[in-house]
Structure 1
């Protein structure tokens, strides 16, 4: 909340002040307390109480912290996409190691009767796309949107042994997904994954893993690593499976 990491409980009056400040930061950092009081139509005493809720002894300290917060915001930027990252990835997709990983996934899918896609965050969108893409090309596939409320624990052994859990994950460390993997492996389900690294926990727990290795990108608390390699890999697997089925 502004320059604080935690939320602050504000009454209606303080919320009016907060809304004005957040909408006019560039003006407020140069204002006197009287100027702000005139703008929001509240007393300077009310503004001082507001400042104390933000761990400031007075308006001057609040304004300094606000100025530093604004400066940090302006310094944050997103680097332009480096096309060489994608060129390098595409080059690696033609290498024997990557092709072998694709084939290992296809071998499992050939023996499966149902594919369940899962992913979290941006990877969830890739998982949704994967389920649609596979269903259109060769095999009935579904996507589980919320593992917490739709756990995969209670499938029968008869269903599990013909199930392929297809995981899309950049960091490969999601705890909820890992918990479901352990449960499904007890029932002989097959696990395949697309991750950024073969060294991640999900990759190591998978029966087959396709790592794509691109630079991880972070913006504040969000993982904004490109999903293009995951998308391309899903389509490669789908097309390879369709090709294999056409040969039979």
Structure 2
């Protein structure tokens, strides 16, 4: 959302991130809340909330809060969703990263797409798309599946993990088993380049987005950026093998 501007997550403290994640997932509530309410909900302090708002370039909470009152015409515009695919929402060196991953895929014995929930659904699409290109690939959507036993006698596996926040406990626990092992190359497709998942990955294909939840836990965050990156990677791989 525009009121967060081009925020640099690397410059945010843990407290700032807590405030950001609450605000981004509860934007419909912000116009009706006080600074103290936001502090309580994000488990921070009122002074921390105000410091964060000033970091965003606003002089007062009132000025910041008015940015959440989006005109009805904008709310109903489906085409506004496509702003998620603007070039500035992806890494400047995206082409280089895609080529690096494609080179790994060329020598991979196994390609596993791993995700939970909505990300798991995209994994199924991704696995099918790359299977069409001749790769031995499948979607892993169950974090309790004995994947390590399945891959025990194989080598050169690429694990592509999809997660908007990059912080889901079950996902982090699973990926930790792949880290620092010579036979596994971990790629993350995530909306948070500073997340736990990103830090555990060999290469990160990140994008900027805003987490959107209703009823606190039900996720409506757009998967358009992750689908775009999956398709961009598959196209890069296709061109690489055709050279």
Pairwise TM-score range, normalised by the shorter structure: 0.5 to 0.7
Instruction: Tell me by how many angstroms 1:84 deviates.
Output: 4.7
Match of residue 212 from structure 1: 207
For the pair shown, which has the larger CA radius of gyration, 1 or 2? 1
Match of residue 109 from structure 2: 113
Normalised by the size of structure 2, how large is the TM-score? 0.62
Question: In structure 2, do the counterparts of structure 1 residues 121 and 88 end up closer, same or farther at CA, with 3 Å as the change threshold?
Answer: closer
Tell me whether 233-242 or 133-142 shows the greater mean CA deviation. 133-142
Question: In structure 2, do the counterparts of structure 1 residues 167 and 81 end up closer, same or farther at CA, with 3 Å as the change threshold?
Answer: farther
Match of residue 160 from structure 2: 166
Contact 1:105 1:209 in 2 (8 A): no
Which of structures 1 and 2 has the larger relative contact order (alpha carbons within 8 angstroms, sep 6+)? 2
Gaps of 5+ in 2: 1-74
Contact 1:138 1:238 in 2 (8 A): no
1:175 aligned onto 2:169: yes
1:194 aligned onto 2:171: no
Gaps of 5+ in 1: 1-78
SS at match of 2:138: strand
Contact 2:89 2:208 in 1 (8 A): no
1: CA distance, partners of 2:199 / 2:77: 30
2: CA distance, partners of 1:127 / 1:162: 20
Question: In structure 2, do the counterparts of structure 1 residues 137 and 82 end up closer, same or farther at CA, with 3 Å as the change threshold?
Answer: same
Structure 1 residue ranges (4+ consecutive) displaced by more than 3 angstroms after TM superposition: 79-85, 92-96, 155-158
Normalised by the size of structure 1, how large is the TM-score? 0.61
1:228 aligned onto 2:224: yes
1: CA distance, partners of 2:207 / 2:92: 14
SS at match of 2:189: strand
